[in-house]
């Protein structure tokens, strides 16, 4: 007998009926780690993308006066769990932007989708800031930024940053603590990312805006700025990189992405604790920018 009731969004039903349509929480335990050569290509700043170990599981990208650098996934993914351990450049990094994000801007110039982790530089002695953001179908005039402090110094060690993206949910995690959840609501329309995307990691000069709104620029006296990435997980439904949308996606073992239905109670409480302490800015609370909050913000406050 196979139970296959659709989840109605009620926590009690969800926990009572373990059906394929209704699963809380996502476990990244045991997901395969990719090497750079298996999963990525260099994007730019060629000789600034270097291997840190013999197996190519860890790479370093850097920014100096003449260029930044970056890499991108070989495949595009429609729904995925992406994760990397990242160690950010230390010392004085004002204006330096380090990213870990998904985008399809090359394929869809006017209606692209994007899900971002962005590290916004650091003036010595000030806390590091992390920003998350989402665009869907070219909604670039409706930024959905949030900014947070971290509870550790991200330049001292590797920490894990992860993005879970399903047809209905986006979750950002830091060291497996969910820090932000976006649940798709119908009123979002195309603003919820819905087309296959590539995973990117870059380091670049964001002097114009990154640190305190551009007040602190990159100081190349401290260059090169080095960002290290390791433990790549690219788990999801990949498309053929040549045929892209034409090819059927291959979800492989990643069927749990379609059954994910939100955080567990324990995860929600961890997220609340994180956000009470570390959330600095959320577009949901910015009434001067959005006198009427964007539709998903209403749901969000209930979480
Ligand atoms: C990765 O690929 C490059 C280019 O083909 C090769 O030179 C390098 O040895 C490979 N590295 C690893 C760790 O497999
Ligand atoms: C996405 O944008 C395209 C082009 O602007 C438009 O034709 C399409 O209807 C949009 N899709 C959604 C779901 O809003
Ligand atoms: C920070 O940069 C300055 C100037 O380049 C250098 O003298 C100092 O040793 C650096 N400190 C660390 C901890 O790397």
3-class DSSP assignment, residue 225: strand
Pocket test of ligand 3: the residue of 65, 87, 91 to mutate, having most ligand atoms within 8 Å of its CB, is: 91
Q: For ligand 3, say whether the CB of 156 is within 6 Å of any of its atoms.
A: no
Q: Whose alpha carbon is nearest atom 4 of ligand 1?
A: 37
Residue 245 is a catalytic residue: no
Q: Are strands 40-44 and 69-73 parallel, antiparallel or unpaired?
A: antiparallel
Helix (H), strand (E) at residue 274: helix 265-278
Compute, in angstroms, the gap from residue 201 CA to the centroid of ligand 2.
Answer: 27
What number does CATH give the domain 36-302?
2.60.120.200
Which of 38, 55, 107, 118 is labelled catalytic? 118
User: Which ligand 1 atom is nearest residue 56's CA?
Assistant: 13
Residue 114 is a catalytic residue: yes
Q: For ligand 3, say whether the CB of 91 is within 6 Å of any of its atoms.
A: yes
Q: Whose alpha carbon is nearest atom 10 of ligand 2?
A: 190
Look at residue 6 in the predicted model and tell me its pLDDT.
45
Q: How far apart are CA 147 and CA 151, in angstroms?
A: 13
User: Which ligand 3 atom is nearest residue 222's CA?
Assistant: 5
The secondary structure of residue 256, as a DSSP letter, is H
DSSP string, 38-97: HHEEEEESGGG-EESSTTS--EEEEE-SS--EEEEESSEEEEEEEEEEEE---S--TTEE
| pLDDT beneath 50, residues of the chain | 1-20, 302-303
Q: How far apart are CA 262 and CA 254, in angstroms?
A: 16
Write out pLDDT tens, residues 235-290.
999 886 566 555 667 787 788 898 999 999 999 999 999 999 999 999 999 999 99
């Amino acid at each position: 007998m196979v139970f296959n009731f659709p989840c109605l969004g009620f926590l009690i039903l969800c926990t009572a009926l373990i059906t394929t349509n209704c699963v809380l929480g996502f476990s990244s335990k045991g997901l395969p780690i990719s090497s750079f050569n298996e999963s990525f290509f260099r994007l730019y700043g060629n000789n600034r993308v270097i291997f840190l170990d013999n197996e190519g599981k860890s790479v370093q990208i850097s920014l100096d006066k003449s260029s930044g650098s970056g890499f991108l996934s070989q495949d595009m993914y429609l729904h995925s769990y992406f994760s990397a351990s990242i160690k950010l450049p230390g010392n004085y990094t004002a204006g330096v932007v380090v990213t870990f994000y998904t985008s399809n801007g090359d394929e869809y110039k006017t209606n692209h989708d994007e899900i971002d982790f962005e590290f916004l530089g650091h003036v010595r002695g000030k806390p590091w800031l992390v920003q998350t953001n989402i665009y869907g179908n070219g909604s670039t005039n409706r930024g959905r930024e949030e900014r947070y402090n971290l509870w550790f110094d991200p330049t001292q060690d590797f920490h894990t940053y992860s993005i879970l993206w399903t047809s209905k949910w986006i979750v950002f995690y830091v060291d497996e603590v969910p820090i932000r959840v976006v649940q798709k609501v119908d009123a979002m329309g195309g603003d919820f990312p819905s087309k296959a995307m590539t995973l990117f990691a870059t380091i670049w000069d964001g002097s114009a805006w990154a640190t305190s709104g551009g007040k602190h620029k990159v100081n190349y006296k401290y260059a090169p700025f080095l960002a290290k990435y390791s433990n790549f997980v690219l788990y999801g439904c990949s498309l053929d990189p040549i045929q892209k949308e034409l090819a059927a996606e291959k979800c492989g073992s990643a069927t749990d992405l379609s059954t994910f239905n939100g955080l567990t109670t324990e995860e929600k409480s961890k997220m609340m604790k994180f956000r009470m302490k570390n959330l600095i800015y959320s577009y949901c609370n910015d009434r001067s920018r959005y006198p009427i909050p964007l539709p998903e913000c209403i749901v969000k406050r209930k979480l």
